[in-house]
Chains A and B, each alone.
Chain A
């Protein structure tokens, strides 16, 4: 048992942190938000850091690194509220491409590692409410020729994507996990419409509308749901790490403010009501950090214990993010609710993270359903 980072991981952290601090300051981020929430140049800079292929196997030109390395990167990106869909591409889509048919997946992995392509998962539907098996989008066909029809929502950076990984129903009832396949769909073809919109956190999202859209199979029914669940859990671990980075920075900003803002002739950090509040914030931050580690370190487990652990982590993070976000705004007073000041942007990102890959209530249900007699980190 060891929670130290290796020297290589510390170097990786420094690399990403330096870019975030120098290359992605608040003013630049504001410009990216104005430009629609995604910047090609910023994406290229992230690619130039050499981290797009973090989890791509070395055979496809990647680094072949693991979950802890991903956590390190995401903590730093979270600190800077980086809008570009790093986790969606380099972790979630990468996980799915690695699970899929080699002929379909490997070329894409290579392109991701080179920073040339943006591939994202499109799984959420208007009625699915975080249930990965609830899929109304249909697929019919065979071999390399498949046709997909349906509508996916909240696709990260959908407008910039070179390809989508789409969950679609090949057979079975609407929530039958065994009847789902995963398919690769390219934009810019007849029957595919990408409707982009800004999201509440300043990033870019899209709905993907498919009418008999051409697709190739990535993972066949039978293996698709397991691959999807693994990718979602990978996404949860990434969100947890990103949230820890964001909360850590937000708390730092808040502490600075409390020590400089004066009311009644003294720094507001001298008021016990506020001191106790920041102690409670610190508690939630450290519980969240602990559970982010847990999420990352449990990713390699078998599906059942992995799912249980990731659900537990997302519950903790959901509660922590809401408390830390809301209280850090409150501790600022009026300035906290303005668009001009950074704190509100942290709050908005933390809010959106809660509603990605299962909100707190959904995950409490998961934990509840999956409880065993014994409990604990090693249960």
Chain B
């Protein structure tokens, strides 16, 4: 048992750190560090920088053009980029759909779709949730009917994150109503420019346009865009979830944001208030404990000796911590967090504020973070899963 990284791992970390220092645009990291809205161009710019280096698909094996890193190396990459203030890579392409295409797609599909994902050229969205299918995802109703060499898709997806930017969308669709709900689902890749697709914004409580409804009205999808076999889509979706690993806890971002909590608390003069400071101390303990749990999972993956079934725990804890740091930042600013100053939020600057504390977006971020315990399988669903592993 040893907490230290090996010299090779440390050298790897240095290499990543130096590359990020030289390649992450400061305008972008400044925005990330202050919760300023990232435009599509900002996101694409960073994605393409990573893509050019071959690291947008940082978890990809070599045979598909990835770096072929092990679990520790992937973690170190995630940590170095997060701590440097890089945007979180939009996961739908490189993290979510790509592994499914690699595992279950045909060689033609792999050749057709993977390069655009790896380079950052093509923006992917996720079409899972529906108005009637939240945590009970398998009840989804969006229908795909086979007609000749096409599927005709009708229905509605929702909560489609950044779907307004999407070039392509991967969808779970119903191709059969026989048997259990899970057995009639297929996995389709759909060009969002197809006639019959309408994207409508959903404005969330902080006033942001982050999620969307996506409507399908007799959308024609070539049958060669079906992944794997018809009615096996649920299996592929589960494979995707298994790929979510430790990154779901987002502990590296939590470390960065904890630094920011301290910075804001100092600027606002509450860092030396024992009652407030103890709350930060408790969050610090939570973050260290989460990081240790993540490291245990990585070590188990690396050695293959022990199996750790804690993915549900990582999601629950990681999301709770995200909510907590956003809450503490807002509370540190106190009354200064109350004005809704959209101009300042967009500009990333506001007058009459102490150095180090850009407080305009703090309440918005707090409101936005309520999503984290709901999405990706609500924390209550995660507790069901954890209980299943504990109680049998």
- A interface residues, Cβ below 8 angstroms from B: 1-6, 9, 68, 251, 255, 258-259, 269, 272, 275-276, 278-280, 282-283, 286-287, 290-291, 293-294, 296-298, 312, 315-316, 364-365, 367-368, 371, 373-377
Check B2 against A1 for contact (C-beta < 8 Å): yes
Shortest B133–chain A CB gap in Å is: 20
Chain A residues contacting B209 (CB-CB under 8 Å) are none
Check A1 against B4 for contact (C-beta < 8 Å): yes
Check A279 against B295 for contact (C-beta < 8 Å): no
| Contacting residues of chain B (1-15) with chain A, CB-CB under 8 angstroms | 1-6, 9
Assuming the A-B contacts A4-B299, A259-B392, are A290 and B289 also in contact, with contact meaning beta carbons closer than 8 angstroms in the complex? Answer: yes
Check B284 against A367 for contact (C-beta < 8 Å): yes
Shortest B172–chain A CB gap in Å is: 26
* Bound-complex Cα distance A280 to B312 (A): 11
Shortest A160–chain B CB gap in Å is: 32
Residue interface bits B230-262, CB-to-A below 8 A is 1, else 0: 000000000000000000000000010011001
Check A368 against B390 for contact (C-beta < 8 Å): no
* Bound-complex Cα distance A283 to B315 (A): 11
* Bound-complex Cα distance A269 to B384 (A): 12
Check A2 against B281 for contact (C-beta < 8 Å): no
- Closest A residue, CB atoms, query B386: A279
Check A293 against B390 for contact (C-beta < 8 Å): no
The B contact surface, by secondary structure, is helix
- Closest A residue, CB atoms, query B75: A1
Contact of B298 with A by CB under 8 A? yes
Q: Which of B255, B274, B298, B305 contacts A375 (CB 8 A)?
A: B255
Contact of B357 with A by CB under 8 A? no
Chain A residues contacting B390 (CB-CB under 8 Å) are 251, 255, 278-279, 282
Check B305 against A291 for contact (C-beta < 8 Å): no
* Bound-complex Cα distance A4 to B307 (A): 11
Check B317 against A364 for contact (C-beta < 8 Å): no
* Bound-complex Cα distance A316 to B291 (A): 13
Q: Which of B3, B280, B306, B391 contacts A1 (CB 8 A)?
A: B3
Shortest B272–chain A CB gap in Å is: 10
Shortest B52–chain A CB gap in Å is: 30
Contact of B49 with A by CB under 8 A? no
Chain A residues contacting B391 (CB-CB under 8 Å) are 255, 258-259, 269, 275, 278
Closest 9 CB pairs of A and B: A290-B292, A275-B387, A368-B281, A279-B386, A279-B383, A297-B3, A3-B299, A367-B281, A287-B289
- Closest B residue, CB atoms, query A283: B313
27 CB-based A-B contacts, threshold 8 Å: A1-B72, A1-B299, A2-B2, A2-B299, A3-B1, A255-B390, A275-B384, A278-B391, A279-B383, A283-B316, A283-B317, A286-B310, A287-B290, A291-B288, A294-B292, A312-B288, A315-B281, A364-B278, A364-B285, A367-B285, A373-B262, A374-B259, A375-B259, A375-B287, A376-B288, A377-B3, A377-B291
Q: Which of A4, A5, A9, A280 neighbours the largest number of chain B CB atoms within 10 Å of its CB?
A: A4
Shortest A96–chain B CB gap in Å is: 25
6 more A-B contacts (CB under 8 A) besides A2-B302, A3-B299? A3-B296, A5-B1, A282-B313, A368-B277, A373-B259, A377-B292
Q: Which of A2, A286, A294, A377 neighbours the largest number of chain B CB atoms within 10 Å of its CB?
A: A2
* Bound-complex Cα distance A136 to B284 (A): 34
Check A294 against B72 for contact (C-beta < 8 Å): no
Chain B residues contacting A278 (CB-CB under 8 Å) are 387, 390-391
- Closest A residue, CB atoms, query B384: A275
* Bound-complex Cα distance A279 to B316 (A): 10
* Bound-complex Cα distance A367 to B300 (A): 29
Check B288 against A377 for contact (C-beta < 8 Å): yes
Contact of B355 with A by CB under 8 A? no
Chain B residues contacting A68 (CB-CB under 8 Å) are 1
Check B295 against A3 for contact (C-beta < 8 Å): yes
Chain B residues contacting A316 (CB-CB under 8 Å) are 285, 289
Contact of B380 with A by CB under 8 A? yes
Chain B residues contacting A6 (CB-CB under 8 Å) are 1
* Bound-complex Cα distance A315 to B284 (A): 11
Contact of B282 with A by CB under 8 A? yes
Check B289 against A272 for contact (C-beta < 8 Å): no
Check B282 against A375 for contact (C-beta < 8 Å): no
Contact of B303 with A by CB under 8 A? yes
Shortest A70–chain B CB gap in Å is: 12
Contact of B211 with A by CB under 8 A? no
Q: Which of A1, A4, A282, A298 neighbours the largest number of chain B CB atoms within 10 Å of its CB?
A: A1
- Closest B residue, CB atoms, query A3: B299
Chain B residues contacting A272 (CB-CB under 8 Å) are 384
Check A1 against B5 for contact (C-beta < 8 Å): yes
Shortest A261–chain B CB gap in Å is: 12
Shortest A277–chain B CB gap in Å is: 9
Check A298 against B277 for contact (C-beta < 8 Å): no
Shortest A294–chain B CB gap in Å is: 5
Contact of B336 with A by CB under 8 A? no
Chain B residues contacting A293 (CB-CB under 8 Å) are 1, 292, 296
Check B291 against A315 for contact (C-beta < 8 Å): no
Check B3 against A283 for contact (C-beta < 8 Å): no
Q: Which of A269, A371, A376 contacts B280 (CB 8 A)?
A: A371
Chain A residues contacting B296 (CB-CB under 8 Å) are 3, 290, 293
Contact of B84 with A by CB under 8 A? no
Contact of B344 with A by CB under 8 A? no
* Bound-complex Cα distance A59 to B283 (A): 44
- Closest A residue, CB atoms, query B304: A4
Contact of B293 with A by CB under 8 A? yes
Q: Which of B5, B296, B303 neighbours the largest number of chain A CB atoms within 10 Å of its CB?
A: B296
